[in-house]
Amino acid sequence: MIAASRVSRIAASARRCARAAWVVALPIAWPAGALALPAFDAVRAAHRPSDLPLLDRHGTPIASVRVDPLQRRGPWVPLAEVSPALRDALLRSEDRSFWAHGGVDWSALAAGAWARAWNTHTRGASTVTMQLAALLDPELARPAGGRGLADKLAQMRAAQQLEARWTKAQILEAYLNAVPLRGELTGIAAAADQLFGKHASGLDAEESALLAALVRAPNAEPGAVQRRACALLRAPQGSCATLDSVAAQAFARAPGPWRVLGGEMLAPHLARQAALAVAAAPAAATMRAPAAVPAASAVPRAAAPPWAAAAPAALPRTTLDARVQRMALAALRRQLAELRGRGADDGAVVVLDNASGEVLAWVGSAAAPIAGAAAGDVDAVLARRQPGSTIKPFVYALALERRLVTAASVLDDAPLELAAGSGLYRPANYDHRFRGAVSVRTALASSLNVPAVRVAALLGPDAVFERLAALGLRPQQSAGHHGHALALGSADATLLDLANAYRALARGGRTSRARWWADQPRAAERTVFDAGAAWLVADILADSAARAAAFGLDSPLVTRGWAAVKTGTSKDMRDNWCVGFSARYTVGVWVGNAGGAPMQGVSGVAGAAPVWRELLAWLHADAPSRAPAPPAALHAEGGEWFLAGTSAPPAGAGAARRLGIASPREGSLVALDPEIPAAMQRMVFEGAPGRWSVDGRLVGEGARVRWQPHPGRHLLERRDAESVDRVRFEVRAAPPPRPVRAAPTRPKG
């Protein structure tokens, strides 16, 4: 047997020979001149996190956006903010002589050569500096088949030059921010956050050992990582009793968005818009490597070095206010908790600044976090849904503007039949009651359906459709497709568009597109309503006494200061809305279900209105809103406001303004029902009281006349002492019944 002392002398000799061999080989393998390696400041400046914060108008993070789909990197972490336990564990694992060598650990190289000669496994001889050189330069990265002698020599040369230009602290800091650790996680910031939910400064000894163990084999089986971490802990630390549970929790954590504001994503839907914008325009959103950094080699590279990775330097700042956003989300969630069990599972809120059109809050869903196909993945601020009665103010504003009605005009809240395609349209009020003669002010404030349809019939579907389009509501299909149902919200709209349309009423009939990016240019403003008509509608919507007939004097629509508000509920209670404005803000709320399922007894005043009132009260906690002054074109008579050219009705008159023929409308087409005998069918003529005639023959008197229709084109006239109204319509005969075919008989036998 060979004596131990002799073995020791042989090993030392082998190490000296190995070092001598490397020293001889280096001048032969390395060409003269220095490599063009980047400076530390350039590498740090070019570092781009994979997730960028989305900021509100004040610079507060409200969400995060993934901009690099391949790697997960956190913000650059200075060495002073790295846990000492992690620094020690990493160097114990990867480079025990880091603070002593000049980039190459010759003793480790000799030991490795000796171990390979005796076919003995040992740790690698690559220092942290050598590994960093390979991370900074793709040409120095380890090939799939392993490094050859020339590759190793190039890596060593780069390491020595890094040591000559950088400090040890800079090398370790850059390495910790660039080292791959597991899967897509690169750098300690991302790994500490995703695996342990911590900042790198808060890692304890066990967590640090696990991260250090991942450096050697980032995607190793968890058991192997635990064993290696335990070996690192046993040196100065001792026990591994709780390491298994720490590792199990770390590797079981599901990947998630970069945490901001304590882990809450306040505006995930707007963040998704930012991510789509980055993906759609990568050339405009990416940053090149700093111009002061020279190319690392004259030879074209296969890939850009990671320190110069192209990624957006920052996201555009939003117009949102984190305080308003947080309050809107909290108020919505509180209300949905109150509605639990009634089929109302989700909602949305948008808050606009009236003057600028800037979006202050954008809550696309109450669900959190946004994930997969869950309800939280639907942005209800942009989803198109039936807005219900929230459309009525625009119908009345148009009729007021055209002087067809005044706020004092009397409308008939009674059963109504209007031609609709091949049938009849019979609107009904929400409570299925009729109130008889009501003023325009009461009808709008109390949200009565039948009077609203009567006013819309005066205007015609085309006029209503065009005005909704001018407001930016973007109604689809056509006016003929919706017919008179347009007045009750049959055309889908988004919450954002609807709130911005109400903002036009708040601004005296002027509108512009809403803005949610701080650098988005302000759109040109245009007038869509007469200022007097817009003010008058706002005054009606703020009139608590006028809405008392339907909502009472103490409802969620009553506020401390001045506010104009309207609710809406779509067919089968699938959607309910509350949209209104103060002098400064417009607030829109939707409550329903992302999948469109109906709710159980949840109307706009019971579902969305409490959120609206809570948020508006919070916005005006310091100073209640004040009513805007009436425009000069308005004048008051008998306690009511009137536009120029209109006035209060004479004493004893039943209506402030003649409504002419309300039904049928010009060009109406009526089809007889083949299932009902012709003698039993009737058309209803409605309008201002007068004498009614069809084709010159008197058929009745009053405000409502029934007439037995017969096929052909007809001229309807309504006469009174002041004027004559005429409407042409057509009645088509019922199609002949189809012959009934006898069932074939089956042959016998």
Average pLDDT over residues 514-521: 92
Which CATH number fits the domain that encloses residue 394? 3.40.710.10
Q: 415 and 306: one domain?
A: no
Whether residue 617 is predicted with pLDDT greater than 90 in this model: the reply is: yes
Whether residue 69 is predicted with pLDDT greater than 70 in this model: the reply is: yes
For 137-168, what is each residue's pLDDT tens digit? 877 776 655 566 776 788 888 888 889 999 99
Distance in angstroms between the alpha carbons of the first and the last residue of the chain: 110
Q: Which of 81-95, 373-387, 450-464 has the lowest mean pLDDT?
A: 373-387
Query: Alpha-carbon distance 161 to 150, whole Å?
Result: 17
The pLDDT assigned to 137 comes to 82
Residue 522 confidence class, pLDDT cut points 50, 70, 90: confident
Q: Which are the contacts of 690, defined by CB distance < 8 A and separation ≥ 6?
A: 701, 702, 703, 718, 719, 720, 725
Residue 465 confidence class, pLDDT cut points 50, 70, 90: very high
- Note whether residue 122 is domain-resident: yes
Query: Alpha-carbon distance 65 to 52, whole Å?
Result: 5
The pLDDT assigned to 656 comes to 35
Q: 543 and 403: one domain?
A: yes
The pLDDT assigned to 24 comes to 40
The pLDDT assigned to 29 comes to 45
Query: Three-state SS for 563?
Result: coil
Q: Which of 199-208, 419-428, 674-683 has the lowest mean pLDDT?
A: 419-428
Query: Alpha-carbon distance 191 to 199, whole Å?
Result: 9
Which CATH number fits the domain that encloses residue 722? 2.60.40.10
Q: Give the chain's mean pLDDT.
A: 82
The pLDDT assigned to 674 comes to 78
Q: 72 and 179: one domain?
A: yes
The pLDDT assigned to 115 comes to 56
The pLDDT assigned to 113 comes to 55
Rounded to the nearest 10 degrees, the angle between the axes of helix 205-216 and helix 84-94 is 30
The pLDDT assigned to 2 comes to 46
The pLDDT assigned to 183 comes to 86
The pLDDT assigned to 412 comes to 87
Q: How far is CA 644 from CA 394, 409, 613, 656, in A?
A: 19, 15, 34, 14
* Between residues 435 and 615, the one the model is more confident about: 615
Q: How far is CA 44 from CA 165, 176, 297, 467, in A?
A: 15, 12, 20, 55
Question: Exposed, middle or buried by CB within 10 Å (0-12, 13-18, 19+), for 683?
Answer: buried
Residue 255 confidence class, pLDDT cut points 50, 70, 90: low
Residue 541 confidence class, pLDDT cut points 50, 70, 90: very high
- Note whether residue 358 is domain-resident: no
Whether residue 660 is predicted with pLDDT greater than 80 in this model: the reply is: no
The pLDDT assigned to 709 comes to 92
Task: Give the chain's domain count.
Answer: 4
The pLDDT assigned to 661 comes to 83
* Between residues 304 and 517, the one the model is more confident about: 517
Average pLDDT over residues 175-185: 91
Residue 669 confidence class, pLDDT cut points 50, 70, 90: confident
The pLDDT assigned to 116 comes to 57
- Note whether residue 196 is domain-resident: yes
Whether residue 361 is predicted with pLDDT greater than 80 in this model: the reply is: yes
Q: Which of 256-270, 433-447, 652-666, 719-733 has the lowest mean pLDDT?
A: 652-666
- Note whether residue 629 is domain-resident: yes
Q: What residue has token string 């010759």?
A: 106
Q: Which of 274-278, 400-404, 633-637 has the lowest mean pLDDT?
A: 274-278
Whether residue 456 is predicted with pLDDT greater than 80 in this model: the reply is: yes
- 341 and 374 Cβ atoms separated by less than 8 Å: no
The pLDDT assigned to 737 comes to 59
Q: 509 and 434: one domain?
A: yes
Max avg pLDDT among 304-318, 445-459, 648-662: 445-459
Whether residue 549 is predicted with pLDDT greater than 50 in this model: the reply is: yes
* Between residues 69 and 10, the one the model is more confident about: 69
Residue 175 confidence class, pLDDT cut points 50, 70, 90: very high
- What are the DSSP calls for 620-666, one per residue? TSSS---PPPPPTT-EEETTEEE-TT--PPPTT-S-SS---EEESPT
Give the structural domain span for 683: 661-732
Q: Which are the contacts of 60, defined by CB distance < 8 A and separation ≥ 6?
A: 261, 322
Q: 478 and 504: one domain?
A: yes
Query: Alpha-carbon distance 178 to 187, whole Å?
Result: 5
Whether residue 515 is predicted with pLDDT greater than 60 in this model: the reply is: yes
Whether residue 125 is predicted with pLDDT greater than 70 in this model: the reply is: no
- Note whether residue 359 is domain-resident: no
Percentage of residues in the chain having pLDDT higher than 90: 43
Q: 267 and 410: one domain?
A: no
- 346 and 336 Cβ atoms separated by less than 8 Å: yes
Structural Rg of the chain based on CA atoms: 38
Whether residue 118 is predicted with pLDDT greater than 60 in this model: the reply is: no
Q: Which amino acid is at 264?
A: E
Query: Alpha-carbon distance 638 to 618, whole Å?
Result: 36
Residue 8 confidence class, pLDDT cut points 50, 70, 90: low
Q: Note the helical H segments in 166-204.
A: 168-178, 188-196
Q: What residue has token string 């609107």?
A: 427
Average pLDDT over residues 647-660: 55
Query: Alpha-carbon distance 401 to 396, whole Å?
Result: 8
Average pLDDT over residues 701-722: 89
- 628 and 541 Cβ atoms separated by less than 8 Å: no
Q: 426 and 443: one domain?
A: yes
- Note whether residue 363 is domain-resident: no
- 717 and 725 Cβ atoms separated by less than 8 Å: yes
Query: Alpha-carbon distance 392 to 532, whole Å?
Result: 17
The pLDDT assigned to 306 comes to 57
Q: What residue has token string 């209300």?
A: 335
The pLDDT assigned to 264 comes to 65
Closest CA to 218 of 140, 97, 135, 157: 135
Residue 382 confidence class, pLDDT cut points 50, 70, 90: very high
Q: How far is CA 139 from CA 162, 301, 413, in A?
A: 16, 7, 82
Whether residue 17 is predicted with pLDDT greater than 60 in this model: the reply is: no
Q: 258 and 286: one domain?
A: no
Q: 128 and 181: one domain?
A: yes
- Note whether residue 703 is domain-resident: yes
Query: Alpha-carbon distance 248 to 226, whole Å?
Result: 9
Give the end of a domain, one of 230, 262, 294.
Answer: 262
Query: Alpha-carbon distance 432 to 726, whole Å?
Result: 32
The pLDDT assigned to 692 comes to 94
The pLDDT assigned to 203 comes to 93
> In residues, how long is the chain?
749
Whether residue 133 is predicted with pLDDT greater than 70 in this model: the reply is: yes
Whether residue 170 is predicted with pLDDT greater than 50 in this model: the reply is: yes
Whether residue 727 is predicted with pLDDT greater than 50 in this model: the reply is: yes
Q: 665 and 682: one domain?
A: yes
Whether residue 748 is predicted with pLDDT greater than 90 in this model: the reply is: no
- 672 and 731 Cβ atoms separated by less than 8 Å: yes
- Note whether residue 504 is domain-resident: yes
Max avg pLDDT among 55-69, 254-268, 341-355, 665-679: 341-355
Give the end of a domain, one of 262, 283, 306.
Answer: 262
Whether residue 343 is predicted with pLDDT greater than 80 in this model: the reply is: yes
Percentage of residues in the chain having pLDDT higher than 70: 80
The Cα angle at residue 517 between residues 511 and 520, in degrees rounded to 5: 65
Q: 128 and 217: one domain?
A: yes
- 672 and 681 Cβ atoms separated by less than 8 Å: yes
Q: 121 and 106: one domain?
A: yes
Q: What residue has token string 């707007």?
A: 270
The pLDDT assigned to 567 comes to 95
Give the end of a domain, one of 272, 298, 317.
Answer: 317
Which CATH number fits the domain that encloses residue 172? 1.10.3810.10
Average pLDDT over residues 111-136: 69
Average pLDDT over residues 213-230: 87
